[in-house]
């Protein structure tokens, strides 16, 4: 299966980062990007989103334990899948997925290594559920949106991300940027949005 975007060397899952000040349309860009992919592929895109905060860590990324389920011995609801686990599960059902991680730079710096490992290996490991692996990494694209809460993401993570710097954009600016990214994927694409 062909991937939806061009992955960098050492990267199993395609990901890019939208960087720019608050209010530049990064979140909206990710939504429009998903709709364009839907048009280009002719497939329904499952759009998942998560907004990071200063507490975002491994529990929100991979999984957490539902304490109420643990107390009531409800084994089926014991594990709460994090945003990466949800994306893997959706892709493994055959869906194409775009996962938007808003305000990623608010997440704990240790989050960079969890995400990096996932982008490199297309899998995650948990002591609760074992390994959860993407059957087809080409079914998933990850979009990080960041402001300047953390000056830099970790160097190993940034090496594996494609960066798009956004300033305040007009709809035609956004169409041009999306067109450039799609042209990288398929040089035969002439015009996406007029």
Strands 14-19, 162-165: pairing is parallel
pLDDT band for position 192 (50/70/90)? very low
Whole-prediction pTM value?
0.77
Which residues, including other chains, have CB under 8 Å from residue 150's CB and lie 6 or more apart? 105, 106, 109
For the ranges 34-38, 49-53, 56-60, 83-87, the lowest mean pLDDT is seen at 56-60
> Is a pLDDT exceeding 70 seen at residue 98?
yes
Instruction: Compute the distance between CA of residue 18 and CA of residue 20 in angstroms, rounded to an integer.
Output: 7
> Is a pLDDT exceeding 90 seen at residue 82?
no
> Is a pLDDT exceeding 50 seen at residue 3?
no
Strands 45-51, 130-133: pairing is unpaired
């Amino acid at each position: 299966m062909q991937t939806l975007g061009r992955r960098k060397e050492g990267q199993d899952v395609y990901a890019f980062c939208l960087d720019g000040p608050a209010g530049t349309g990064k979140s909206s860009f990710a939504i429009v990007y998903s709709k364009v992919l839907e048009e280009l592929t002719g497939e329904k895109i499952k759009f998942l989103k998560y907004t990071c905060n200063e507490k975002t860590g491994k529990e929100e990324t991979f999984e957490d334990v539902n304490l109420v389920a643990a107390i009531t011995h409800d084994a089926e609801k014991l594990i709460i899948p994090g945003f990466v686990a949800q994306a893997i599960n959706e892709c493994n059902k055959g869906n194409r997925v775009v996962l938007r991680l808003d305000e990623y730079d608010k997440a704990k710096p240790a989050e960079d290594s969890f995400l990096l490992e996932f982008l490199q290996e297309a899998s995650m490991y948990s002591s609760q559920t074992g390994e959860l692996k993407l059957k087809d990494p080409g079914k998933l694209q990850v979009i990080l949106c960041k402001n300047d809460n953390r000056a830099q993401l970790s160097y190993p993570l940034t090496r594996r991300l494609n960066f798009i710097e956004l300033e305040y954009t007009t709809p035609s600016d956004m169409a041009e940027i999306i067109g450039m990214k799609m042209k990288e994927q398929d040089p035969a694409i002439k015009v996406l949005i007029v």
